[in-house]
Amino acid sequence: KNEVEQSPQNLTAQEGEFITINCSYSVGISALHWLQQHPGGGIVSLFMLSSGKKKHGRLIATINIQEKHSSLHITASHPRDSAVYICAVGEWGNTGNQFYFGTGTSLTVIP
């Protein structure tokens, strides 16, 4: 069973393009996380959100709790945005936060 589904799995874009990565989930959540992983690198948190929309620079994350869906948008994409983007949902329970992860979207931005 996949609690978190991401699409697309792979994405290639020209520099400057607007990019959207989608995430759907099936569990009840306390928060949804967008993570970034550069090739051979560690994993960093981009956003944590439980409702509405958040914006950091050229990155925007939205969530629709009723539809159990989130999107990550990158405006004016740049080659340095090339990375794997991972959607994760946090489910709060008696033993603290449990996290479920999508398999990631591999983004390549071509100059």
All residues at 6 or more sequence positions from 14 whose CB lies less than 8 Å from its CB, including other chains: 77, 109, 110
Report the site for other proteins in 14-33 (rule: CB under 8 A): 30-31, 33
Q: Across 1-111, where does the E strand assignment appear?
A: 4-7, 10-14, 19-25, 31-37, 43-49, 52-56, 59-64, 69-74, 83-93, 96-101, 105-110
If one asks whether residue 35 binds other proteins (CB under 8 A), the answer comes out as yes
SS3 of residue 81 by DSSP? helix
How far from each other are the two terminal CA atoms of the chain, in whole angstroms?
38
When binding is defined by CB under 8 A, the residue of 41, 55, 65, 75 that contacts other proteins is: 41
Least distance to other proteins, CB of residue 58, Å: 21
Report the site for other proteins in 43-102 (rule: CB under 8 A): 43-45, 48, 50, 86, 88, 90, 92, 95-102
If one asks whether residue 34 binds other proteins (CB under 8 A), the answer comes out as no
The site for other proteins (CB under 8 A) is made up of: 4, 30-31, 33, 35, 41-45, 48, 50, 86, 88, 90, 92, 95-104
